[in-house]
Structure 1
Amino acid sequence: MLKGIKLKLYPNHTQQDQLAQMFGNDRFVWNRMLDMMNKRYQNNPDSKFLGKFQLDYLLKPFKKEYPFLKNSDSSSLQIVNEFLIQAWRNFFKDKTGKVGKPRFHSRKYLRQSYTGKSNIKVAGKRYLKVPKLGYIKSSKTDAIKGKIKRYTLSKEATGNYYLALQVELPEAKTLPKTNKQVGIDVGVADLAILSNGVKYQSFNGSYFKNKARVWQRKYSRRRHQAQVLAAQDKNRKALFPRSLDSFNNWQKAQTIKAKYQAKVANQRKDYLHKVTTELVKKYDVIVIEDLKIKNLQQNHHLAKSIANASWRMFRTMLEYKCKWYGKQLIAVDPKNTSRICSNCNYNSGEKTLDIREWTCPKCGVHHDRDINAAVNILKKAQSQVQCF
């Protein structure tokens, strides 16, 4: 079983310079390979598509021509070719025109990373041995208890470094059975409403969200001012025209807003982890709606609230945690779950979102809209429930 583990790294100044070089090497190989494939495609669109083997074969002469590439983990350059080939395949397979050709990578990207397959060794409670970097300080390494298959080392917009590991564990750790089942209806005001009446509120985090919003406005305003001043220098043909990168004020705002946005994202993820772990521990069978979240977000009245609730992340966490711990997750068709009475199955028709409670005109039972939907969701899955 594969499991993802993310650690924070604390590289020294020398290692930070090495990482900047390695990020640049991956970007250099991507851009050179992409330029070559673009020219090949333009000159002869019907030519045979280059595979990963052909691109990997070119790395050896590349390293002779550009010796600085030897400073990178060799497996990371091979994975660059792997990602590039996959990007081209997606472009050729797409028939809708939504997927474009691979693009060149810029050094101005706020997030930089590289992926490798070489061995990483745990050298202590808070130290790892990373290829080409040597011993590097990290957050606690206690969670690494399997074979590391692949790793991604990244520098975020906040300036922090992280190491994401794909670890192969010997076997899953199953949780004790509770013989309980539950249906879950997701919402905006409440993240999850259970069929037994329990409600989990949506993530709030208003303090840091307000801070992020304020600094987003400051960043946008300062960037616009810098663009205007740079354009004025260019139009006046100044002797030493200022570039956008020479304005430190908007770059400072960019870093501060990124830190607040990262804080909000981490708090939201932590909250979702706590809720999903509690659900998986309490129930053997969890039933959810098979919602098309991308379609729902096209409603501009609800898009922001749905994004804040993170329904997709909530479902993804439930999926892999149920798989890890031997529980069953069932996704059912959401059709009519809010219209049907859970007591007598009478369909009372469509209801606007402002109606949170209603009384069944047939049997007279009074319903909480969300709890009633959760009960109907659980009922829809009864035929799919496995015997534990």
Structure 2
Amino acid sequence: AMMNERYQNNKALPFLGKFKLNYLLKPLKKEYPFLKNSDSSSLQVVNEFLTQSWKNFFQDKTGQIGKPRFHSRKYLKKSYTGKSTIRITGKRYLKIPKLGYVRKYYLSLQVEISEPEKYSLTGKQVGIDVGVADLAILSNGLKYPSFDSYYFEKKAKVCQRKYARRRHLAKLLVLQDRNKKVLCPRSLESFTNWQKAQKSKAKYQAKAANQRRDYLHKLTTHLVKQYDVIAIEDLKTKNLQKNHHLAKSIANASWRMFRQMLEYKCEWYGKKLIAVDPKNTSRICSKCGYNSGAKPLEIREWTCSKCQTKHDRDINAAVNILHKATPTGQGLTMVTS
């Protein structure tokens, strides 16, 4: 509130940085005793975040970054950021200064690490075509399936229906209290059943996301170890997801995350990633180069009308991707090494 007031009267009142804001913590603790319940380092972190958000607002020339706002009272984010010593006791408890022991938590640490060691060169190169049923189809014929999240999606849907039903009933009861003008009307937050259903839904969604990420980490690390040069399609995933028939399958396959992991792991371990233009990779015969035209998605195998070579659609595309990534190939768009 004070920073908003200074912003409105910027000529009369100067802007305060994080160090000057930290000097105000002591008188604020006397005025608001509840601030003493948290350690001082966490309050200093809040001052840093507040100062940085104002700087971002002032320096923005695009008009996309808005003025800092108050946190929402309705949707609380139970998080803690501090600089003090945090201890992990036993297998399940975290001890935070002043707040004491916390049983359920997610802990994020920022540490300095040494650069990863480079993988030994294998002399191999490969082209990769991404798909829906099979996430990665390699030019040498190997196929790696997409992560199967059916079980978690089914559980999340059940919890979603329960959550929506309970939230709707809670809203009706809140409206009844308002209409009847009871002395102590109930709020939506006072109904714990729909909050439990929401947590159950979020739990299964988080499990699916974590297992998918773990699967992608293992797959991308294996590929980077095996091959020195990896060629992939330069796909615009956002545009592809506009197709409502394939959007969910593409999101579940996580093509974008797969590419991002390959990019930084190739950079870490001294390998090369090349993204090529995907145009005509499914139409051209990888043996003779004849373009046989567009084919419906349901056709997974086809025979070249010129050289009579029988192709697996995805493997043929992966081979064409590798051909495009060669130094003499066309359509090169990005090289990361």
Tell me the TM-score range normalised by the shorter chain: 0.7 to 0.9
Equivalent in the alignment of 2:259: 315
Task: Return the alpha-carbon distance in structure 2 between the equivalents of residues 347 and 48 of structure 1.
Answer: 70
Choose from 171, 175, 187 the match for 1:243. Answer: 187
1:346, distance to aligned residue in structure 2 (A): 2.1
Q: Which runs of 5+ in 2 are unaligned?
A: none
Choose from 47, 56, 62 the match for 1:94. Answer: 62
- Alpha-carbon contact 2:86-2:96 (below 8 Å) kept: no
Matched, 1:73 2:79: no
Amino acid at match of 1:164: S
1:197, distance to aligned residue in structure 2 (A): 1.0
Q: Which shows bigger deviation, 265-274 or 343-352? A: 343-352
- Alpha-carbon contact 1:339-1:351 (below 8 Å) kept: yes
Amino acid at match of 2:79: S
Task: Return the alpha-carbon distance in structure 2 between the equivalents of residues 104 and 233 of structure 1.
Answer: 29
Per-residue CA distance 1:125-161 (angstroms, 9 max, x = gap): 9799988469989xxxxxxxxxxxxxxxxxxxxx941
Secondary structure in structure 2 of the residue aligned to 1:161? coil
The structure-2 alpha-carbon separation of the partners of 1:89 and 1:316, relative to structure 1 and needing over 3 Å to count, comes to farther
Task: Return the alpha-carbon distance in structure 2 between the equivalents of residues 215 and 365 of structure 1.
Answer: 50
Per-residue CA distance 1:30-71 (angstroms, 9 max, x = gap): xx47xx34x666678x99996xx7355333224422452762
1:72, distance to aligned residue in structure 2 (A): 3.9
Per-residue CA distance 1:257-289 (angstroms, 9 max, x = gap): 121111111111111111112111111111111
The alignment yields a C-alpha RMSD, in angstroms, of: 3.6
Per-residue CA distance 1:1-28 (angstroms, 9 max, x = gap): xxxxxxxxxxxxxxxxxxxxxxxxxxxx
Secondary structure in structure 2 of the residue aligned to 1:233? helix
Equivalent in the alignment of 2:313: 369
Task: Return the alpha-carbon distance in structure 2 between the equivalents of residues 199 and 133 of structure 1.
Answer: 53
Equivalent in the alignment of 1:296: 240
Task: Return the alpha-carbon distance in structure 2 between the equivalents of residues 375 and 282 of structure 1.
Answer: 17
The structure-2 alpha-carbon separation of the partners of 1:228 and 1:326, relative to structure 1 and needing over 3 Å to count, comes to same
Amino acid at match of 1:382: T
Matched, 1:381 2:293: no
Amino acid at match of 1:88: F
Matched, 1:58 2:26: no
1:179-218 pair list within 5 angstroms: 179-218=123-162
Per-residue CA distance 1:109-137 (angstroms, 9 max, x = gap): 36443445x47689999799988469989
1:226-237 pair list within 5 angstroms: 226-237=170-181
Task: Return the alpha-carbon distance in structure 2 between the equivalents of residues 224 and 123 of structure 1.
Answer: 40
1:377, distance to aligned residue in structure 2 (A): 1.3
The structure-2 alpha-carbon separation of the partners of 1:212 and 1:320, relative to structure 1 and needing over 3 Å to count, comes to same
Task: Return the alpha-carbon distance in structure 2 between the equivalents of residues 360 and 47 of structure 1.
Answer: 78
Task: Return the alpha-carbon distance in structure 2 between the equivalents of residues 66 and 187 of structure 1.
Answer: 58
Give the fraction of aligned pairs with identical amino acids, expressed as a percent.
60
Secondary structure in structure 2 of the residue aligned to 1:286? strand
Choose from 199, 217, 223 the match for 1:273. Answer: 217
Secondary structure in structure 1 of the residue aligned to 2:111? strand
Larger-gyration structure (1/2):
2
1:165, distance to aligned residue in structure 2 (A): 2.4
Choose from 71, 81, 103 the match for 1:105. Answer: 71
1:185, distance to aligned residue in structure 2 (A): 1.0
- Alpha-carbon contact 1:41-1:47 (below 8 Å) kept: no
1:255, distance to aligned residue in structure 2 (A): 1.6
Amino acid at match of 1:84: S
- Alpha-carbon contact 1:123-1:135 (below 8 Å) kept: no
Per-residue CA distance 1:310-359 (angstroms, 9 max, x = gap): 11211122122222222222222222222222112222222232222222
The structure-2 alpha-carbon separation of the partners of 1:291 and 1:257, relative to structure 1 and needing over 3 Å to count, comes to same
Choose from 337, 347, 357 the match for 2:301. Answer: 357
- Count residues in correspondence: 325
Matched, 1:220 2:164: yes
Q: Which runs of 5+ in 1 are unaligned?
A: 1-31, 138-158
Task: Return the alpha-carbon distance in structure 2 between the equivalents of residues 313 and 59 of structure 1.
Answer: 40
Choose from 243, 259, 262 the match for 2:203. Answer: 259
Task: Return the alpha-carbon distance in structure 2 between the equivalents of residues 229 and 368 of structure 1.
Answer: 59
Secondary structure in structure 1 of the residue aligned to 2:244? coil
Task: Return the alpha-carbon distance in structure 2 between the equivalents of residues 366 and 207 of structure 1.
Answer: 37
1:208, distance to aligned residue in structure 2 (A): 2.1
Task: Return the alpha-carbon distance in structure 1 between the equivalents of residues 181 and 99 of structure 2.
Answer: 49
Per-residue CA distance 1:182-213 (angstroms, 9 max, x = gap): 11111111111111111111111322221111
The structure-2 alpha-carbon separation of the partners of 1:228 and 1:368, relative to structure 1 and needing over 3 Å to count, comes to same
- Alpha-carbon contact 2:128-2:137 (below 8 Å) kept: yes
